[in-house]
Amino acid sequence: MTGILSRKPENPFREWNMVFIPYVTGDFHLGNNEFKYGGGRKTLFHVGEMNTRIIMDECKKLFPETDILLICGESAGAFAAAGNAPLVAGYYPGAPSVVYSDASQLVVPLWRETAGHVWGANGKLLDKIEESGDLYYDLVEYSSAGLGERAVFLRSNTFYDEVLIQFGSTLRGGPHEATPEAVSLYFNGLAATEKRLAASGLPYYAFLTSYNRNPKTGLTQHTMCHSGKAFYCSEDTGVSLCEWLTDAVAGRYRTLGRDELFQT
């Protein structure tokens, strides 16, 4: 219960109703499939979308109406927030939605095959996932088309996210390490995705930062919105993540840090 989930006075979201969907299915909450691994010796239940739907059925009973939705996720949940926004918002058709993803940059050319063959993602979403592997962009495009003017999309990322760099290397068949090549691929991929989003006309805004960069490794923090410190720290942006997100929920949108990303 820290960062955006904290009930402390400094958190402007402390009095919001909160529904937490734990991540246990290995499918970015997008799956509807039981997949057999190891020649059929092990079954993994990639049923994240099914679980989300079941939880939202209960959520609707607890909270029949709402003025606004903040659909938020970090790391794997960051992709879930972007991809499941139409599902979640569909339970509250009269409410505007702010869809916020914290740490969601993994460009690898395997998402379409994985989402379809392994996870069993729904067909409309799968049709939007391109072979290039820029999954976050594809999910925002998919959800924006489904929600129209009802939704705005936000994300926060650090420039040299240690965890995402390591996972990106692994998913490309390399070591689970932040090798120089993996660091370069992550940073350049982040810049490329941001350029696509900036030129797309999609209702999208970003908070990009070098927050908590390790002076020895040059790597930066993974997620920020759930951190009791990072959520309130401004460092290079001049505006804290908390302030940026609070403003966005109030309809005051802005992108911070993109110029630094493009100039580095």
- For 44-68, what is each residue's pLDDT tens digit? 999 999 999 999 999 999 999 999 9
- Bridge-partner residues for 46, per DSSP? 33
Tokens representing residue 196 in the block: 């696509």
Q: Which residues of the chain have pLDDT under 70?
A: 264
From CA 41, how far away is CA 147, in angstroms rounded?
41
Tokens representing residue 223 in the block: 């997620």
From CA 83, how far away is CA 125, in angstroms rounded?
8
Instruction: Please choose, from the candidates 223, 232, 207, 212, the residue with its C-alpha nearest in 3D space to the C-alpha of residue 9.
Output: 232
pLDDT computed for residue 171 by the predictor: 95
pLDDT computed for residue 1 by the predictor: 87
Tokens representing residue 96 in the block: 């505007």
Instruction: Please choose, from the candidates 163, 169, 198, 201, the residue with its C-alpha nearest in 3D space to the C-alpha of residue 184.
Output: 169
Task: Answer left, alpha or beta for residue 18, where phi above 0 means left and psi between -120 and 50 means alpha.
Answer: beta
pLDDT computed for residue 18 by the predictor: 95
* pTM assigned to the model: 0.96
pLDDT in tens, 127-145: 999 999 999 999 999 999 9
Report the relative pairing of strands 204-209 and 69-74 from DSSP bridges.
Answer: unpaired
